[in-house]
């Protein structure tokens, strides 16, 4: 079983990468909430470790749940994947899922201050794993699947924000927190759309947004979403420093120009590669300004 799960992790859920991403997301939101409120004294402990692990564990939960949900489709379209190919069994993944969920529940119950938010996160995730009990409608509709499933990123963000606010006695539902909630959501939304956009000659039996609506309409929609993301990022980073607002503007200009290039020639590069570059650049820029803001507060 251990060897089979090692294959699964290597191909479907690289552990080191996913742990890094999970803790990066957790602490990025954590420090954004604090530094935009002018709080520069931090108190780290076991809850922060548990919070980052919960993000990781929940992403693992979603990954395994998706393998069960999409088993029939994957058997037909992606037979080389670990579960359809038989290199990992359903019992292996069921055991992994049980351990993962139990660990999250126990750790959140004993160490976190926002157990209600955790339950909300898990309940929504469970409903997703059962297609919200409307599998026949949702599974055959890519837009409906996006509408029902993608808000989970907002709930993950809210879980982190709620923990931070409760720990440091900050009002949860206030302007800056709402901006942070959405600013760190839009990138994930376009990533989910962008990974299902292909050049016409690359289309297969697999259903993509570009197959349903055409490359131009989908990429234009992505640019519209990123327009909202630009506004959210500007509102967020200006709380750190007015100078920081120039970064999101320049980043969006570059991204929009590359999107137009893709519309003209979808064979030139993959849209998902562009989106991932933009995400890395945006997140890196925010982290740099978090460090600058903290440093200036220390020397000031």
Terminal CA-CA length for the chain = 55
Task: Find tokens 């509408």 and name the residue.
Answer: 147
User: How many Å separate Cα 13 from the centre of its chain?
Assistant: 14
pLDDT at 69: 87
SS3 content of the chain, % helix, strand, coil (to 5): 80, 0, 20
Q: What are phi and psi of 289, to 5 degrees?
A: -70, -30
pLDDT, mean of each 10-residue run, the chain (300 residues)? 89 93 95 93 95 97 91 84 90 95 98 97 94 88 92 96 96 94 93 92 88 94 95 93 94 96 93 94 93 86
From residue 152, how far is each of 74, 111, 130, 165, 211 by CA, in Å? 23, 23, 14, 20, 25
Domain boundaries 1-172, corresponding CATH code? 1.10.357
pTM over 0.75, yes/no: yes
The domain limits of the chain are: 1-172, 174-300
Could you give the 3-state DSSP secondary structure of residue 31? helix
pLDDT at 279: 93
pLDDT at 133: 87
pLDDT at 300: 65
């Amino acid at each position: 079983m251990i060897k089979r799960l090692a294959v699964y992790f290597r191909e479907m859920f690289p552990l080191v990468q996913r742990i890094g991403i999970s803790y990066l997301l957790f602490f990025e939101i954590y420090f954004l909430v604090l530094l935009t409120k002018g709080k520069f004294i931090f108190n780290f402990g076991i809850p922060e470790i548990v919070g980052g692990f919960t993000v990781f564990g929940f992403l693992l939960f979603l990954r395994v749940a998706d393998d069960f949900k999409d088993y029939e489709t994957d058997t037909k379209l992606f037979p080389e994947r670990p579960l359809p190919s038989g290199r990992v069994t359903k019992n292996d993944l069921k055991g992994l899922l049980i351990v993962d969920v139990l660990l999250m529940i126990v750790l959140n119950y004993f160490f976190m201050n926002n157990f209600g938010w955790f339950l909300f996160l898990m309940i929504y995730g469970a409903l997703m794993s059962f297609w919200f009990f409307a599998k026949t409608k949702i599974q055959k509709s890519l837009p409906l699947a996006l509408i029902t499933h993608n808000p989970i990123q907002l709930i993950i963000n809210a879980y982190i924000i709620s923990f931070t606010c409760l720990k440091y006695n900050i009002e949860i539902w206030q302007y800056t927190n709402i901006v942070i909630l959405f600013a760190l959501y839009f990138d994930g939304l376009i990533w989910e759309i962008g990974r299902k956009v292909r050049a016409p000659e690359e289309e297969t039996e697999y259903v993509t947004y570009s197959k349903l609506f055409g490359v131009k309409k989908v990429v234009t929609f992505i640019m519209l979403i990123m327009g909202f993301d630009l506004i959210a990022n500007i509102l967020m980073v200006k709380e750190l420093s007015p100078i920081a607002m120039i970064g999101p503007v320049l980043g969006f200009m570059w991204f929009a120009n590359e999107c137009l290039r893709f519309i003209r020639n979808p064979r030139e590069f993959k849209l998902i590669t562009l989106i991932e570059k933009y995400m890395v650049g945006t997140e890196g820029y925010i982290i740099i300004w978090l460090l600058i803001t903290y440093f200036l507060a220390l020397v000031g």
